[in-house]
Amino acid sequence: MKKTVLVASAAILLFGCKKDEPAPPSGSNSASTSIVAGEGALVACEGNFQGGNAKVSYYKFSDGSVVTDLFSTANNRPLGDVCQSISFSNGLAYIVVNNSGKIEEVNPSSYVSQRIVNGFTSPRYMLQVAPGRAYVTDLYANGVWIMNTVNNTISGMISVPGETEAMEPVNGEIFVTSPDRDQLYVINSVTNTITDSITVAKGGNSMVSDANGKLWVLCYGDYFTSAPGGLYRIDPQTHTVEASWPFTTAESPTRLCCNSTRDTLYYIDNDIYRMPVTNAALPSTPFISAGTHSFYGLAVRPSDNELFVTDAVDYVQQGHLLRYTRQGVLTDDKQVGIIPGSIYFY
């Protein structure tokens, strides 16, 4: 009896003790990575909110190699919480780290940090509007920050009643979306004052200017009231809406961008849609179907109109950077950081 008990106990002790180990890092994290302008794409990987795992990943066009985490490799510290966007000016790159309330100024070749600008509330995007001066939109600051890029300090704020998100410069004026308002604000970048506002749908998230000098604004609507979003064509001279295309309440379009000749628009609405600027209606069929992907970021490479798209999978594991030909054929798929969002060709 005792023997049986001992054997049974030993079997229980040894039962199923197979242990998972951490996955080896995907891509390369070589400390000697040097970014050469024009040779690759940068991906702002947001990481999880309050997870502190924001990253900047780099994809090299020639061989498809990936560096998953440029910043921490170069600086021996994590980037921060939620990498929202990257901006380039004066030969430097500015990484906007949303939930850390800061902007990291880095050398765009080595990604070694030069300076940090603190004091933002929840910064989203940065735009150089004049030599030595940039605007920074913010989710919670009720305004647009004015940043001095010479000494990297916050020099002021343009008050806006609500969130501020995307910016687009047209003829010396800066158009700013406000996702929680149904307004598009116009700022005079010389006087730093709001000069006008244009009524659009709520959820304004991205803008582009087309070849005809028109401004296109994409809005995802209002999640709380289920008010639908829309696509708007605006005359930036008169500040009027020339045409609009409403979406349904079930749709949530984001990431408006255009091709190199600025005559074709692309956006994500679960799938990827393509629309010539001369179209009279929204496209009814997708250009690229999402299939097994969760499309999150989108950019068109200016040199050949190849599409670069990010897939956030389930938002708690590493995402993917997908490369499509201009005809929409998938040619490459590489793992990058968690929640890859904005894509930049530098």
Partner 1 sequence: MNRKAGSAVLFFTCLCACVPLVATGQVTKDTANAKTTDADMQYGLKGVIIISTPGSSGPGGLVVSRPDSGITEQQQCGTLNDLLGSSGAMFSKYYGANGLSSPGLRGSSPQQTPVVWNGLNLQAVTHGQVDLSLFPSILFDNVSVQPSGGSSLNGDAPGGGITGVSYTPYMSRQFRFSALAGSFGENSLALSFGDGKPKYAYDIKAFRQQAVNNFPFDNPYVPGNELTKLQHAGFFQQGAAGDFNYEFRNRRNLSVHSWVQETERDLPPTLLTNPNASWQHDYALRTILTFSDFSHDKWWYSASAAVVHNGLVFYDGYTQPASNTDEWEYVSDIHFRKHFGEGYFSAGLCNQYSVAVVTQFIPLHHQERPAAYLSFQRQFHKLQLSGSAREEMYDAKWENPVIRFGARYDIRNWIAVYGNVANTYRVPTFNELYWSPGGNPNLKPESSFGQELTVEFSRGGSYINGFYSATVYNRNVRNWILWVPGPAYWSPENVLAVRSRGIEHRLQATCKLNSFTFTLNGYYEFNRTTKLKTTIRGDSSLGLQMIYVPQQRISGMLRIAWKYWYVQYVHEFVDIRFTAADHSEYLPAFNTGQFTCGTSFVHRNEKAELFIRINNAWNTFYMVTADRPMPGRSYEVGVTFRFEKKRDVFPAVK
Q: Is 96 exposed, middle or buried (0-12, 13-18, 19+ CB in 10 A)?
A: buried
Question: Residue 308 CB: number of other CB atoms within 10 A?
Answer: 21
How many of the chain's residues bind partner 1 (CB under 8 A)? 64
280 is a contact residue toward partner 1 (CB under 8 A): no
Q: Contact region for partner 1 (CB under 8 A) — 37-45, 184-192, 244-252, 273-281?
A: 244-252
Among 3, 17, 31, 240, interactor with partner 1 by CB under 8 A: 17
Contact flag: residue 125 with partner 1 (CB under 8 A): no
Compute the least distance from the CB of residue 339 to partner 1, in Å: 10
Q: How many CA atoms lie within 13 A of 61 on its CB side?
A: 17
Q: Which of 3, 19, 281, 285 binds partner 1 (CB under 8 A)?
A: 19
Per-residue 3-state assignment (H helix, E strand, C coil) for 308-330: EEEECCCCCCEEEEEEECCCCCE
Say if residues 172 and 184 touch (Cβ distance below 8 Å).
no
> Considering the complex, what minimum distance in angstroms separates the CB of residue 114 from partner 1?
15
Nearest residue (CB) to partner 1, 259 versus 318: 318
Question: Whole-number minimum distance, CB 173 to partner 1, in Å?
Answer: 26
Taking the C-alpha atoms of residue 85 and residue 172, their distance in angstroms, rounded to an integer, is: 23
Q: Is 7 in the site for partner 1 (CB under 8 A)?
A: no
Piece of 165-173, 187-195, 222-230, 298-306 that binds partner 1 (CB under 8 A): 222-230
CB of 81 to partner 1, least distance (A): 4
122 near partner 1 (CB under 8 A): yes
Using CB under 8 A as the binding rule, whether residue 182 contacts partner 1 is answered as: no
Residue 309: strand pairing partners: 298, 322
What is the spatial distance between Cα 160 and Cα 155, in angstroms, rounded to a whole number? 16
Q: Is 325 in the site for partner 1 (CB under 8 A)?
A: no
Interacting positions 55-114 with partner 1 (CB under 8 A) = 76-78, 80-81, 99-102
Six token digits for residue 254: 């984001």
**3-state secondary structure at position 338:** strand
Check residue 65 and report its DSSP letter: -
Among 92, 227, 241, 290, binds partner 1 (CB under 8 A): 290
Q: Is position 153 an interface residue for partner 1 (rule: CB under 8 A)?
A: no
Nearest in space to 305 (alpha carbons), one of 323, 280, 320, 293: 323
Q: Which of 312, 324, 340, 341 binds partner 1 (CB under 8 A)?
A: 312
What are φ and ψ of residue 9, in 5° steps?
-65, -40
CB atoms within 10 A of CB 304: 11
26 binds partner 1 (CB under 8 A): yes
Provide the minimum distance between the beta carbon of 144 and partner 1 in the complex, in angstroms, as a whole number.
15
Q: CA dist 13 to 4, 7, 8, 51, Å?
A: 14, 10, 9, 36
Q: In the complex with partner 1, which residue's Cβ is closer, 132 or 286? A: 286
252 lines the binding site for partner 1 (CB under 8 A): yes
Output the CA angle 326-217-47, nearest 5 degrees. Answer: 70
- Minimum Å distance from CB 116 to partner 1? 12
Least Å distance, CB 97 to partner 1, is 8
Task: Specify the length of the chain in residues.
Answer: 346
**Phi and psi, residue 111, nearest 5°:** 65, 20
Count of alpha carbons within 13 angstroms of residue 263, beta-carbon side: 2
- Sites of contact with partner 1 (CB under 8 A): 1, 5, 8-9, 12-13, 15-23, 25-26, 48, 50-54, 76-78, 80-81, 99-102, 120-122, 139-142, 220-221, 223-224, 226, 250-252, 269-270, 290-294, 311-318, 320, 338
